[in-house]
């Protein structure tokens, strides 16, 4: 191959990569340098669906530099709660962070765990509208996603009240959707998709399904990854991590999206750098594994496909950086293998990013709850100094998180068995 031909091929591949990345960036709800605040009650306060969303964004868009703040408070209603009246909460826990994007999920406590009540509902509706009005006035141009309340689990256990408490939350969610529509805002349904997966999980493995929302209110990691997926889909998150197609017989790359393939040797060995990392999933956790298998998370959010055509019939060990990540037939490889479902170096890297996501949020939580709220910003000079120190520490941790999310080059190889 002449140098001019190689250059032309490289430019074509780069153009494809850039086109794919730009399309994903333009259609996804979050934009570069956005500042996102998650606002809600104890389900948001768990910092689970929110941190799953954060890690997805950081690993799927490693150059976007989106900042996330998690401002949930257990027991909250549209009127406020343990963190103070709603206006105090909004001023201190949302507006202070100058958000460009805000999510709101309230309703689990507001409906009071009882059959639908018109007076209780009226308070919720008026309070929710107040939050929207205050935020629009305080932060012009703020993009808000109003989240329909996550489910009370009436699937894996018999309903606790006639008709089920979740049916009440669904009615509240319809009002949330209506408020969003009337105000030209975004809405997201974190109830219906989770309920659908609960039904599948119950039919697949009823004992483990009980662990998705063990107290019927607060989902653990398995339930919360379903919530995160529902929010990401509402934000039009891309399914594709990367796509690479190799013609083994011709020893060439026939297609590459969001990936750079720098060498192909003998059709069975190549080096590549993806433009993103896969969504990290802890397959060793039975509840998480069941949740993912009971949903379309892999198909809809986690496609890291390698396709190799022109192979001789047989079975091949798929190696990445000299470590075997799976064994596949020539037919399977010709159809495409989703590496996001395997234990790969890229998945391990993404999991390391998630640990940093959890750590920076733990630092922020301690700064917020143990210092700012407990002592008040103006109470003692040391309070502000302590807050500034923890803010700096969190910034350092976020810098590590973003650096850890940058994709690396890997060597891929197929070895015939």
pLDDT digits (tens, 9 = 90+) for 286-321: 999 999 999 999 999 999 999 999 999 999 999 999
Specify the pLDDT at position 117.
98
Backbone angles phi, psi at 128, to 5 degrees: -65, -45
* Nearest-angstrom CA–CA distance, 162 and 147: 25
Q: What is the pLDDT of residues 33-43, one digit of tens each?
A: 999 999 999 99
| More confident of the two residues 269 and 22 | 269
Contact assessment for residue 24 and residue 238, using Cβ atoms and an 8 Å cutoff: yes
Q: Which residues pair with 319 in a beta bridge?
A: 324, 413
Instruction: Return the sign of the alpha-carbon dihedral for residues 131, 133, 138, 140.
Output: positive
3 state SS of 244: strand
4 pLDDT tier (thresholds 50, 70, 90):
very low
Pure H helices in 239-344: 286-293, 297-301, 330-335
Structure confidence at residue 235 (pLDDT): 98
| 3-state class (DSSP) for residue 397 | helix
**Per-domain boundaries in the chain:** 29-234, 240-344, 347-404
Q: What is the mean pLDDT of the segment spanning 352-373?
A: 97
Region class of 47: left (phi > 0), else alpha (psi between -120 and 50), else beta: left
* 50 and 70 Cβ atoms separated by less than 8 Å: yes
pLDDT of residue 13 exceeding 60:
no
Beta strands in 29-91 (DSSP E): 35-40, 67-72, 80-81, 84-85
Q: Is the pTM value of this prediction over 0.85?
A: yes
pLDDT value of residue 26? 56
**CA neighbor of 345 nearest in space, from 325, 361, 328:** 325
Where b means 16+ CB within 10 Å and e means fewer, 333-357 reads bbebbebbbbbbebbebbbbbbebb
pLDDT of the residue at 218 = 98
pLDDT by residue (tens digit) across 206-265?
A: 999 999 999 999 999 999 999 999 999 999 999 999 999 999 999 999 999 999 998 788
Q: Is the pLDDT of residue 8 over 60?
A: no
Question: DSSP 3-state helix, strand, coil percentages of the chain (rounded to 5)?
Answer: 50, 20, 30
Enter the tokens of residue 314.
Answer: 């047989």
Tokens 């297609």 found at = 255
Say how far apart CA 145 and CA 105 lie, in whole Å. 9
Q: What does the pLDDT look like over 207-222, one tens digit per residue?
A: 999 999 999 999 999 9
CATH architecture for segment(s) 29-234: 3-Layer(aba) Sandwich (3.40)
At 2 the pLDDT is 42
Please answer whether residues 245 and 307 qualify as being in contact, where contact means their C-beta atoms are separated by less than 8 angstroms: yes
Answer yes or no: is pLDDT of 177 > 90: yes
Mean pLDDT of the chain: 93
Position with higher pLDDT, 25 vs 193: 193
> In whole angstroms, what is the distance from residue 333 CA to residue 226 CA?
29
273 pLDDT band, cuts 50/70/90, is very high
pLDDT surpasses 70 at 61: yes
Give percent of the chain with pLDDT exceeding 70.
94
Lookup: tokens for 88 = 């105090």
pLDDT over 50 (residue 5): no
Is residue 10 pLDDT above 70, yes or no?
A: no
Lowest mean per-residue pLDDT among 25-29, 118-122, 142-146, 370-374:
25-29
Task: Categorize the per-residue pLDDT at 379 as very low, low, confident or very high, splitting at 50, 70 and 90.
Answer: confident
**If we measure between CA atoms, which residue out of 128, 43, 41, 55 comes closest to residue 93?**
41
- What pLDDT is recorded for position 261? 95
């Amino acid at each position: 191959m002449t140098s001019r031909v190689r250059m032309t091929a490289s430019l074509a591949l780069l153009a494809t990569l850039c086109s794919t990345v730009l399309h994903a960036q333009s259609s996804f709800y979050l934009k570069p340098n956005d500042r996102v605040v998650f606002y809600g009650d104890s389900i948001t306060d768990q910092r689970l669906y929110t941190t799953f969303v954060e890690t997805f964004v950081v690993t799927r868009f490693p150059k976007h530099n989106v900042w996330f703040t998690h401002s949930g408070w257990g027991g909250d209603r549209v009127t406020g709660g343990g963190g103070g009246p709603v206006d105090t909460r909004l001023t201190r826990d949302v507006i202070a962070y100058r958000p460009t994007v805000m999510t709101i999920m309230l309703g689990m406590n507001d409906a009071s765990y009882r059959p639908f009540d018109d007076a209780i509902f009226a308070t919720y509706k008026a309070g929710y509208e107040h939050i929207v009005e205050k935020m629009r006035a305080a932060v012009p141009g703020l993009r808000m996603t109003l989240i329909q309340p996550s489910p009370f689990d009436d699937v894996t256990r018999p309903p606790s009240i006639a008709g089920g408490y979740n049916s009440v939350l669904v009615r509240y969610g319809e009002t949330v959707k209506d408020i969003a529509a009337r105000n030209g805002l975004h809405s997201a349904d974190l109830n219906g998709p989770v309920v659908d997966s609960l039904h599948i999980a119950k039919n697949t493995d009823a004992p483990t399904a009980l662990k998705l929302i063990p107290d019927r209110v607060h989902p653990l990691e398995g339930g919360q990854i379903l919530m995160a997926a529902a929010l990401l889909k509402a934000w039009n998150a891309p399914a594709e991590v990367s796509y690479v197609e190799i013609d083994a017989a011709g020893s060439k790359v026939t297609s590459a999206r969001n990936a750079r393939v720098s060498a192909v040797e003998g059709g069975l060995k190549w080096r590549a750098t993806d433009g993103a990392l896969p969504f990290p999933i802890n397959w060793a956790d039975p509840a998480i594994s069941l949740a993912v298998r009971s949903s379309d998370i892999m198909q809809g959010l986690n496609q890291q496909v390698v396709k190799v055509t022109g192979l001789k019939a047989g079975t091949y060990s798929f190696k990445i950086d000299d470590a075997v990540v799976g064994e596949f037939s020539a037919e399977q490889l010709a159809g495409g293998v989703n590496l996001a479902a395997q234990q790969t170096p890229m998945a391990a890297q993404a999991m390391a990013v998630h640990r940093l996501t959890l750590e920076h949020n733990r630092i922020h939580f301690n700064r917020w709850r143990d210092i700012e709220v407990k002592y008040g910003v103006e109470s003692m000079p040391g309070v502000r100094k302590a807050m500034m120190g923890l803010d700096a520490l969190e910034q350092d941790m976020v810098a590590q998180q973003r650096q850890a999310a940058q994709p690396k080059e890997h060597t891929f190889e197929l070895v015939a068995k």
